[in-house]
Every structure is written in C-alpha cells, then in structure tokens.
Chains A and B, each alone.
Chain A
Amino acid sequence: MSLILRIKKKFGLILKFLRKKNRLRIGIYGPPNAGKTTLANRILMDWCGGDVLGSVSEIPHETRRARLREGVTIEVNGKSVTIDIVDTPGLATKIDFHDFLKYGLSEEEAKRRAKEATEGVIEAIKWLDDLDGVILVMDATEDPFTQVNITIVGNIEARNLPLIIVANKIDLPNASPARIKAAFPQHTVVPISALKGLNIDALYRCIAEKFG
C-alpha cells in the first residue's frame, strides 16, 4: 500500500474515532409510512428552531433519498447530547407501482416513484455500515412482526449498535405499543406520537441516555 493511502486510512480512522467520541451518527429506520420523517422533523422543530428535514405524505415512499442533518443538540435534565440525524427511506421487500396508483398518481409518476423507492431502500441499507446508533420507528397500529422490522433489528444486534424502538402513532385509537414491547422484549420501546408530540420528552430522555 502506498504511503499516501496508509496516511489517508490512518487519518480516516482517527476522524471516525473523534466523530464517535464527540458526535454520534444516528439513523432513523423503519418501514414506509411509519412516521420516520415526521419524527425527524419533530426533533428538528424542537431543537433546531423549526427546521424540517423532509416532506411527509400519506403516499408510501415519500422519502426516497437519505437526508442528513448534522449537529442536533438535545438537552435533557442538564445533560446535553449532540447527534447527526440520518432520515432514511422506508425499507421494504417489495415495491409495486400499482400500489401508488390508488393515491391518484399517473402511471408514469407511479413508476418513477417505484424506481426511486427501490434506490432509496438500497441507500438505507448501505447507511447501516456508517452509523453509531439507530432509532427504529414502528407504526403502533400495525403488526410489528414484519420482515423489515425483523431484518433491521437483526442487523443492528449483529453490529452491536445501540437501538431505541419508537412505537409511533399512539394518538390513533387502535395503537398498541404493548404489542411492539411483546415482540421485541430485549429492546427499549418508547411509545410516542411524532405528529402530536405526545410523550416526546420520554424519547429525548432515552436518546440522551442511550446515545449520550
């Protein structure tokens, strides 16, 4: 290996070590429409003066590119933690453009959305190798035993990354965070409504504790 490459590699490791020490890079993961971008926007709204990270929509796969926001400082009980937030596209094992037609998109728009969504899934998976922790967002009104949830949890456990599971949408009448807790008893589950801000302080306490 050339001297330049060796120096570059060494510096890269040092930079990574420093970044890990001072600022953790946290990925927000989950299936489509679980509320990942709504949560990212809520965090930014609460701690970055009203910024938003991305648009939200009832049409699945609204986020089709990962978005990074660096240096978000969260302060809880006098303790502060600064993290980089990566809002990732929803993970899925299948993407059928016909599903988007139901939302009134033209066939061309639906096909384009489906193509971009497949690229987004790949990007989200690639990001897993460059994270220091994960917030996994699940829709508390849905069955938590999906392949996507099982695969994400398995990969985070295999990488020994700290994990917080967010049981989102508790403002809806059929939400059951208990079902998520029963499905993944080995992990911390925080019930919230990212949209309404319900119990969001409990999540910030958990972030400070887990990633601080």
Chain B
Amino acid sequence: MEGVQLNLISKERLEKMSSMEKLRMILDEVKSGTIVVLESGLTPEEEAKLIELTMLEIDHENFVGIEVETYPQKSGGFLSKLLGKREGRLTVIGPANKLKTLVKRNDLIKALVRP
C-alpha cells in the first residue's frame, strides 16, 4: 500500500531516551520519508541541536531539510523557572519535501502532507 508513514511517539517512550537518542531516531526516520509525531516534543536546546544535525545531513539531492510543527513554549510557573525545567509540546517533524506548513497560530497548526 502506498502512502506516507506516520510514527506517533509517546511521552513515556521519549522520557526513556537521551537527547541524542531522540534526535538520531527523528532524523533517521525523517530521512527515510516518515513523519514523526512527538507527544511531548523537544526542549528548545534539543530543537536547536536538531537543526544543527539536520544541516550536517543535508546532501542537496535527496534530503534538503526538515519541516517542524510545534506550538510556542508556554510560560512556565515559578517552580519550573526556578528549576530551569521546560517541557516541550506536541511536535510534528517531517521531510521538508513532504510536509508543508499552511497555517501556524498560537493554538492551531494546519499542515499539508504530500504523498
């Protein structure tokens, strides 16, 4: 059956992985054409690292980068600010040639998946 594969990764599974494990898994899946949905998303530092790793993997022929869909971070409470802990939000990551953002708002994201 033809189509685009979607991998939905639970928060529990993500919590068991180190940052590099997560990023490697995402990039490998996305490079193979899969769209990855992360229930709890990535931290801002992980997002920056993902962009960095993506740039290293761009080959200008088959892989030109990624499209990332996520909401802005919620401003944390006093405790999360004190502990410096920031939780990521639902995030969709796909190959740039398959996933295209249509509308992005504070509380709504519309995207198009090309087969």
> What is A's interface to B at a CB cutoff of 8 Å?
91-97, 111, 114-115, 118-119, 121-122, 125-126, 128, 143, 145-147, 150-151, 153-155, 157-158, 183-184, 186
Interface string of B75-115 (1 = CB under 8 A from A): 10000000010100000000010000000111000000000
Q: Contact partner of A154 among B56, B67, B73, CB < 8 A?
A: B73
In the complex, the answer to whether A186 meets B44 with C-beta atoms within 8 Å is no
Q: What distance in Å separates the Cβ of B21 from its nearest Cβ neighbour in chain A?
A: 20
Q: Contact partner of B55 among A95, A151, A155, A183, CB < 8 A?
A: A95
In the complex, the answer to whether B65 meets A145 with C-beta atoms within 8 Å is no
Q: Given the interface contacts A93-B68, A157-B73, does A143 sit within 8 Å of B104 by beta carbon? A: yes
In the complex, the answer to whether A155 meets B44 with C-beta atoms within 8 Å is yes
Which residues on B sit within 8 Å (CB–CB) of A126? 52
What total count of A-B pairs have CB within 8 Å?
Answer: 90
Contact of B51 with A by CB under 8 A? yes
The B contact surface, by secondary structure, is mixed
In the complex, the answer to whether A119 meets B72 with C-beta atoms within 8 Å is no
> What is B's interface to A at a CB cutoff of 8 Å?
43-45, 47-48, 51-52, 54-56, 58, 60, 64-73, 75, 84, 86, 96, 104-106
Which residues on A sit within 8 Å (CB–CB) of B69? 147
Which among A115, A121, A184, A186 has the highest number of chain B CB atoms within 10 Å? A121
Q: Contact partner of B45 among A96, A111, A115, A158, CB < 8 A?
A: A158
In the complex, the answer to whether B52 meets A147 with C-beta atoms within 8 Å is no
A52 to B66, CA, bound (A): 33
Which residues on B sit within 8 Å (CB–CB) of A186? 75
Which residues on B sit within 8 Å (CB–CB) of A119? 55
Q: What distance in Å separates the Cβ of B78 from its nearest Cβ neighbour in chain A?
A: 15
Q: What distance in Å separates the Cβ of A127 from its nearest Cβ neighbour in chain B?
A: 11
Which residues on A sit within 8 Å (CB–CB) of B68? 93, 147, 151
